[in-house]
Amino acid sequence: MKEKTKEFLKKYLIGFILGIVSACTISVIAATYFPSNDVTYDNKESGLVSTNVQGAIDELYGVCFPPKAADQIIEDAGLEKDEYECRYFFTGTNPNNYITFNDETAGWRIISVECDGTIKIIRAASIGNQDWHSSVNSDWSSPTSLNTYLNNTYYNKLNSANQSYIIGKYFSIGEVDTNDTNLATQINNENSKKWEGKIALPTMSEYIRTNSNKNQCGTPSNYKKNYRSCKNTTWMFYSLNWWLLSPRSSNDSLIISSSGNFGTSTAGGTYGISAGVRPVLYLSSDIKITGGDGSQSNPYQLSL
């Protein structure tokens, strides 16, 4: 019975479908619709090993329909859902969240995996110091000169293949208060104003939520009070002055200083400063992982 069933699959079913669908799909259909206990399955040609039907189904679906990057990262890294929004953050001093993007091996890191399947990433190092704006205006959507630079000059320097990975999305640009004792309030404030585009910067709440020391560093006011130790419990700390997306007021833009504390600068004009720029963007939910484990020595490799 076993050999007859195998011969039937080979001679009639696969032969009939061969001109219509791919060989990969044929294998899945054959394994799925003929789940007889008498049937064994030869997976040698695909490089897989299962000889029972259910094992073949599982393996073939993995080959033919690989999981999206977002799902795979959440599972492999053991990420937990954020308590404030439907997002999954990488936290701690040095998690395995490195990614190769724009041909920069381990040059970017994953901030969060979103519930819509997109992946938010940040450049590991600054692309250099830039002014926020040419005049006193912290409104990112105005647009500021830094906004214009990132979404035109910088974006156009990315190779075309990597441009196709980027998806335009809404970024939160509402004002925040670094003295607030409630992070949820600040997240709501950030989300009260949105800007749609392709490249921006990280928000204040994202910087706080990547910190693993929630007791001492989990609110803006606590972070400010304990910044000397808090900078050592987040991978996002970078030992130069660099811009955040969240403004403190209509005149003041927010930075993370080289010491790790929050700082502000008049957003342009005579008293404005230049600070480091770490671009942030969203990768399409159609992205697939083709290699790597997220470590710095073996970062995630992606493709569409």
Using one digit for the tens of pLDDT, what is the confidence trace for 243-261?
A: 999 999 888 899 999 999 9
* Structure confidence at residue 193 (pLDDT): 97
Structure tokens at 138: 């912290």
Q: Indicate the range of 97-101, 183-187, 219-223, 245-249 predicted with least confidence.
A: 245-249
Using one digit for the tens of pLDDT, what is the confidence trace for 175-198?
A: 999 999 999 999 999 999 999 999
pLDDT at 11 over 90: no
Structure tokens at 114: 């979103």
Q: Are 28 and 57 in contact (CB under 8 A)?
A: yes
289 three-class SS:
strand
126 three-class SS:
coil
Q: Indicate the range of 10-19, 63-72, 112-121, 243-252 predicted with least confidence.
A: 10-19
Among 219, 217, 169, residue whose Cα is nearest residue 196: 169
* Structure confidence at residue 17 (pLDDT): 41
Structure tokens at 132: 């926020």
pLDDT at 69 over 60: yes
Q: How confident is the model at residue 205 (pLDDT cuts 50, 70, 90)?
A: very high
Can you tell me the mean pLDDT for 32-50?
Answer: 51
* Structure confidence at residue 15 (pLDDT): 47
pTM over 0.95: no
* Structure confidence at residue 299 (pLDDT): 97
Q: 188-193, long-range: CB within 8 Å, 24+ apart, which pairs? A: 190/246, 193/141
